[in-house]
Amino acid sequence: MLKKWNVLPPPPDDFINSHPELPTTISRLLWNRNLRDQKRIDEFLNPDYSQDVHDPFLFQDMEKATDIIFKSIKNQENIVVHGDYDADGVCASAIIINGLRKLGAQNVDVFIPHRETDGYGLNPRTIEFLAEKKTDLIITCDCGISNYDEVAQAKKKKIKVIITDHHVVPKKVPKADAIIHPLVPDEPYPDKGLCGAAVGFKLVQGLLRKYARKNATLPDGQTFEGFEKWMLDLVAIASIGDMVPLLGESRTLTRYGLTVINKTRNIGLKKLLIVAGMADENGNSKRGVYDSYNMSFQIIPRINAAGRMDHANFAFALLMATDEKEAEDLAAQLNKNNTDRQKITEQYVSEARRQIKETGQKDNPVLFVVGQGWPTGILGLISGKIKDDYYRPSIVMGEGEKEIVGSGRSIREFNLILALQSMPEIFGKFGGHPQACGFTLKDKSILEEFKTKLTTRAATQTAEVDMTPQITVDAEVDLDEVNWKLYDLLQKFEPFGQANEEPKYLAKSVTLVNIDPVGQDGKHLRLTVKHNSHLLKKTIGFGLGDIKKYSENWKESLKPGDKIDMVFSIGVNEWNGNRELQLTVEDIKKL
């Protein structure tokens, strides 16, 4: 699809003048991200763990939750941490289990649901299973807030329940013994954007702070601060993977977490970095410092692949591994899962595109795809691809013998979870975020009613909205100004993510010097360009040569000497000890 380039206006002169210590480029990026007062600017550019991480006891139920847990530990009760099957839920489970064991819990176990057979969150069968195991306390992480009936069932079984979650809060909040959730009604906790693992981290942080009231060190002699900070690698992975806004406390935790990843003690994570080709056999980085981009495209997909293709228990076991050989085997398994996931996703995305074309849906307010027996684990990936292709809310469903399970991805103009909350009678189970959801239809016969209701709501809400996909551009620049000094300044904005997207720039009337198709089937284009001087700049356009993705066949239509406008981001290409600036092309227009 043709995209609209939205070049943001420059900030007022008084804002630039009020920050003379900052380069104009940095001032402009801060203004564009609505960082306009000194306190927020300082917190963003120079996060301080001692100042910018909140007291966990600001959560209204933290005292209650930590009391319950310490009493359970003292009485040697059976504690089960109920996680989720994605990177956020797996990391949250590992953080809480590690914290409980460090504080002396003897009888603690984990339950991570199987995506296909258990579905998301608690379910009645799981509660019965845990009751039979004589579970005394369930601690949920990255789930639970939508499980009113299941929590009530657990309470009837005399099982205590602590919920830690961050998903959209339903009208009926479960009557748990304690709820650690930044979005529940009247919750005073200041950071509302924490991911599930970050919420789990706050619970462990609360436990550590309470234990420190009477003890100088942890039971094994380790310092509280040391143990707490070494957990931040998993908080960072989860925060990036769950695409929460990387502002405020989430940004601070992620920034410090990336530092921990670069010297991680987690054996499983080290082995995963090796099989992903990011580290050598000794665990040393091959390409400089690990950042949010590395995590997003190399590590997180491999952790998620376990729950998509097999069982997330493998990912959890990897992150908890203490044996080198076991960690190597598990990392290899996740790597294979990810390769298999890539192949099957590509196959079903092609089928989904064909289905949309054959049914003439491409301009509909919502796109619906139904596949017979499609694996639940990849429905969200397919939905995301379709949403990106057509810039429409997209619902992809897999129809089994007894039920229809679906996953949705939405554009910023349409809140998907609010739409689902307006029609609860349609679903057996549902949950999610404004731009992502998962659900099971109450009955297969209700499919057409669901389509009609969601389409009607989307049509009404987007009637006055320009549905042309947009690329937000921070500034127009001269390519000759793109240098190492600018790149180093941009590193102050890492980690990039939601609410802090990687800056994009526009260069107009750029001259093409060379076009080189690279990668499988020449789907990527390496363009060498020059702007207002003889200086050559190397760029890479991922997918730019994919004729299915663009309305124009750029491989055939571009030639040396052509003039183009180009939207790009600034990065680094490193190989064999060499390091050079590389511009990643987001979109082009031929003049």
The pLDDT tens digits of the residues spanning 472-488 come to 999 888 998 888 888 88
Question: Is residue 550 predicted with pLDDT exceeding 70?
Answer: no
**Amino acid 110: pLDDT:** 97
| DSSP type of residue 135 | -
For 412-427, how does the pLDDT look when each residue is reduced to its tens digit (9 = 90+)?
Answer: 889 999 999 999 999 9
Question: Is residue 39 predicted with pLDDT exceeding 90?
Answer: no
pTM, to two decimals: 0.89
Among 234, 232, 238, smallest CA distance to 256 is for 232
Q: Which has more pLDDT, 66 or 578?
A: 66
Band (pLDDT 50/70/90 cuts) for residue 94 is very high
CA trace torsion 41, 47, 51, 55 (10° rounding): 110
Band (pLDDT 50/70/90 cuts) for residue 285 is confident
Question: Is residue 396 predicted with pLDDT exceeding 90?
Answer: yes
Tokens 């042309």 sit at which residue?
A: 468
Average pLDDT, rounded, for the chain: 92
| Domains recognised in the chain with CATH numbers | 4-9+470-590 (2.40.50.460), 56-259 (3.90.1640.30), 262-341 (no CATH), 359-461 (3.10.310.30)
Band (pLDDT 50/70/90 cuts) for residue 547 is low
User: How long a stretch of residues is the chain?
Assistant: 591
Band (pLDDT 50/70/90 cuts) for residue 144 is very high
What the block records as the tokens of 190 is 């200041």
What percent of the chain stands above pLDDT 70? 99
Average pLDDT score over residue span 144-151: 95
57 HSE (CA, 13 A, CB side): 9
Gap between the Cα atoms of 242 and 296, Å rounded? 10
**Amino acid 548: pLDDT:** 63
Among 123, 107, 104, smallest CA distance to 115 is for 123
CA trace torsion 487, 490, 492, 497 (10° rounding): -130
**Amino acid 460: pLDDT:** 93
**Adjacent-strand bridge partners of 587:** 567
Average pLDDT score over residue span 198-222: 96
Burial of 511 (0-12, 13-18, 19+ CB in 10 A): middle
Question: Is residue 115 predicted with pLDDT exceeding 90?
Answer: no
SS3 category, 234: helix
DSSP-H helix ranges across 310-464: 313-320, 324-358, 379-390, 416-421, 447-461
Question: Is residue 1 predicted with pLDDT exceeding 70?
Answer: no
**Amino acid 165: pLDDT:** 97
